[in-house]
Chains A and B, each alone.
Chain A
Amino acid sequence: NAGVMQNPRHLVRRRGQEARLRCSPMKGHSHVYWYRQLPEEGLKFMVYLQKENIIDESGMPKERFSAEFPKEGPSILRIQQVVRGDSAAYFCASSPGTVRDEQYFGPGTRLTVT
């Protein structure tokens, strides 16, 4: 059973470009979470999605960031017009259900904005 897949593992973008990060949850998992880890810091929750629905986006910056989890295909975290401060590791996690279930993390995507 494959784990949570994230790609790309490393992404370099120039300021002003768009970054698209992909996450394929574990088989059978319908809950996806995105977290951001700034250098030397802990992970910060960004958004929680179920298939075709955003359930909680309280941790998402109001501008330039968006997320989706379509009926078919991976979840996408999209960052428009990236700035240097967006450089971070972005982790995706999935779980089969809700609060009682462990979240399984992907290996992360390390975004570098030059």
Chain B
Amino acid sequence: AQKVTQAQTEISVVEKEDVTLDCVYETRDTTYYLFWYKQPPSGELVFLIRRNSFDEQNEISGRYSWNFQKSTSSFNFTITASQVVDSAVYFCALVRVSWAGANNLFFGTGTRLTVIP
């Protein structure tokens, strides 16, 4: 069975602080993909990153960085020098590969980040 846990329901930080959003996953598959999506107040879902299970290299994109630790089944997301525009709900997701090759995403319950000016 697949499961994604985002234990932090809500986080508030003051602008320019760094913040880390936690994601822990469970899967029996040896091959899988992990994603982060951002859902701003407007409601749409914005893709942030995809990572496959064989690539544990950390990734940095501007103020965003991701730490994938297979040993602890975690895929954490850090925002450096947070800004008010980062305020959103962030979802971590896992791809399940079914017998038909389907890639339906299993989402965590999300972490609501509020950045206070």
A residues at B contact (CB < 8 Å): 33, 35, 41-45, 48, 55-56, 58-59, 89, 91, 93, 95, 98-108, 110
Contact = CB atoms under 8 A, between A and B. Distances in A.
Interface of B: 33, 35, 37, 43-45, 47, 50, 52, 91, 93, 95, 97-98, 100-110
Contacts of A48: 102-104
Given A42-B108, A55-B100, A56-B102, 12 more contacts: A33-B105, A35-B105, A42-B110, A43-B107, A44-B107, A56-B100, A98-B103, A99-B97, A99-B101, A99-B103, A100-B52, A104-B47
A56 B104 contact: yes
- B37, B98, B104, B105: most-surrounded residue (chain A CB, <10 A): B104
- A95, A103, A107, A108: most-surrounded residue (chain B CB, <10 A): A103
A38 to B, nearest CB: 10
A31 B97 CA distance: 14
A55 B103 CA distance: 10
11 contacts: A41-B109, A42-B110, A43-B105, A43-B107, A45-B106, A48-B103, A58-B98, A91-B45, A100-B33, A105-B44, A108-B44
B95 to A, nearest CB: 6
